C-alpha cells in the first residue's frame, strides 16, 4: 500500500465555502450559486436608529430588495432584482475566475468577477426637474472579488470596484467612482459567523455629501437558507447606492438595522 501511495498522483484540493452566501454584508462575496440552483434573496433595511422613539428607532421605515440568482454553471451565475429605495431594477453576472487550491495545483486566493447594470426609475419623467432619459437613469458597476480562506474560522476579501453613473450633479459627484472594499468572516460555531465590510472611495468630489459604507453582520445558517442580521450606515441595496450614495455617518448614529434572507432551490439534479 505504501508503494501505491508513492505512485498516486497528487490531487487538487479546493478551498470551498469561504463565506456562507453570495452576500458579505451589503455587497457581494466570491461565492457563486451552484449549477442548476436558483437563489431567492430578500434584503431589508430599516430607517436610521437615531430617528429616536418617534420613528421607533428606524422601525417605522422599510427599504427592501427582492432578487433571484441562477447558477448557469458552477462558475457562472446571473441575477436580477428590484430595490425599493429609489425604485431601481438591476441585473448582473458573476463568474468565478480562479479557485483557491492546494495540492497538485496551488493558487492562494479565489477570484470572482462581478458586473452589474442598473436603472433608477425614480423620479417619474413628469416629476423630474429636467428632461430625464433612460440613458440618464443607467449606472454600471464592475468588481473583482478576491478572497482567501485562511482556515475553517477566518476568511478575508478585497473588492476593487468602479461605479459609473451616466448622469450626475457634477457640483457634488463624479460620473466615475473608484473604490476599494475590504471585509471578512469569522466563524464562531458550526452555523454562526460574524462578518464585516467597508468601502473606501478614492476620487470623491470636494463637495460630496456622502459617506463610505460600513457594515457588520451575523450569519446564521439554518437548513436550506442563510439569515444575515445586519447593522450598517447605508439603506441602499444595490452597488451604486451602497458605494456611492450612503447618506449617513455610522459613528454619528446613522445606523440601519436590517437583514438578508437567502433561500436556495435546486432546480436541476447535481451529477
In a domain, 270, yes or no: no
In a domain, 55, yes or no: yes
Q: Give residue 2's pLDDT.
A: 62
Taking the model in full, what pTM does it have?
Answer: 0.90
Residue 183: closest CA among 19, 45, 42: 19
> What's the CA angle centered on 95, arms 270 and 196, to 5 degrees?
100
- The three three-digit cell numbers of residue 148, written as one number: 482567501
- The three three-digit cell numbers of residue 50, written as one number: 437615531
User: Region 244-267: what's the mean pLDDT?
Assistant: 90
Which CATH number do you get for residue 128?
2.40.160.40
Residues near 157 by beta carbon (within 8 Å), at least 6 away in sequence: 18, 19, 24, 29, 30, 145, 146, 147, 148, 181, 182, 183, 184
In a domain, 7, yes or no: no
In a domain, 188, yes or no: yes
What tens digit of pLDDT does each residue of 42-57 get?
999 988 888 777 777 7
What tens digit of pLDDT does each residue of 123-167 get?
777 667 678 888 989 999 999 999 999 999 999 999 999 999 998
**Cell 478576491 identifies what position?**
146
Residue 84 banded pLDDT, cuts 50, 70, 90: confident
User: Region 108-115: what's the mean pLDDT?
Assistant: 96
The DSSP secondary-structure symbol of 174 reads -
Query: Do 114 and 94 meet the contact criterion of CB atoms below 8 Å apart?
Result: yes
**Cell 457634488 identifies what position?**
172
In a domain, 187, yes or no: yes
In a domain, 66, yes or no: yes
Residue 114 banded pLDDT, cuts 50, 70, 90: very high
In a domain, 6, yes or no: no
Count of domains observed in the chain: 1
In a domain, 5, yes or no: no
Query: Residue 58's domain spans which residues?
Result: 12-265
Amino acid at each position: 500500500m505504501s508503494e501505491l501511495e508513492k505512485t498516486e498522483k497528487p490531487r487538487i484540493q479546493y478551498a470551498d465555502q469561504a463565506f456562507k452566501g453570495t452576500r458579505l454584508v451589503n455587497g457581494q462575496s466570491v461565492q457563486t450559486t451552484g449549477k442548476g440552483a436558483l437563489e431567492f434573496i430578500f434584503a431589508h433595511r430599516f430607517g436610521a436608529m437615531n430617528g429616536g422613539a418617534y420613528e421607533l428607532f428606524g422601525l417605522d421605515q422599510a427599504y427592501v430588495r427582492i432578487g433571484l440568482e441562477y447558477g448557469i454553471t458552477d462558475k457562472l451565475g446571473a441575477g436580477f432584482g428590484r430595490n425599493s429605495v429609489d425604485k431601481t431594477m438591476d441585473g448582473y453576472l458573476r463568474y468565478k475566475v480562479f479557485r483557491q487550491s492546494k495540492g497538485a495545483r496551488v493558487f492562494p486566493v479565489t477570484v470572482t468577477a462581478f458586473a452589474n447594470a442598473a436603472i433608477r426609475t425614480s423620479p417619474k419623467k413628469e416629476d423630474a426637474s429636467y428632461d430625464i432619459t433612460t440613458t440618464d437613469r443607467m449606472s454600471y458597476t464592475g468588481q473583482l472579488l478576491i478572497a482567501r480562506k485562511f482556515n475553517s474560522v477566518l476568511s478575508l476579501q478585497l473588492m476593487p470596484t468602479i461605479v459609473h453613473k451616466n448622469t450626475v450633479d457634477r457640483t457634488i459627484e463624479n460620473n466615475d467612482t473608484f473604490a476599494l472594499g475590504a471585509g471578512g468572516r469569522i466563524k464562531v460555531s458550526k452555523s454562526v459567523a460574524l462578518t464585516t465590510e467597508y468601502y473606501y472611495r478614492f476620487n470623491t468630489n470636494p463637495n460630496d455629501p456622502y459617506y463610505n459604507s460600513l457594515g457588520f453582520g451575523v450569519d446564521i445558517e439554518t437548513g436550506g437558507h442563510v439569515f444575515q442580521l445586519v447593522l450598517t450606515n447605508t439603506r441602499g441595496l444595490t452597488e451604486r447606492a451602497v458605494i456611492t450614495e450612503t447618506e449617513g455617518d455610522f459613528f454619528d448614529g446613522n445606523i440601519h438595522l436590517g437583514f438578508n434572507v437567502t433561500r436556495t432551490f435546486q432546480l436541476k439534479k447535481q451529477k
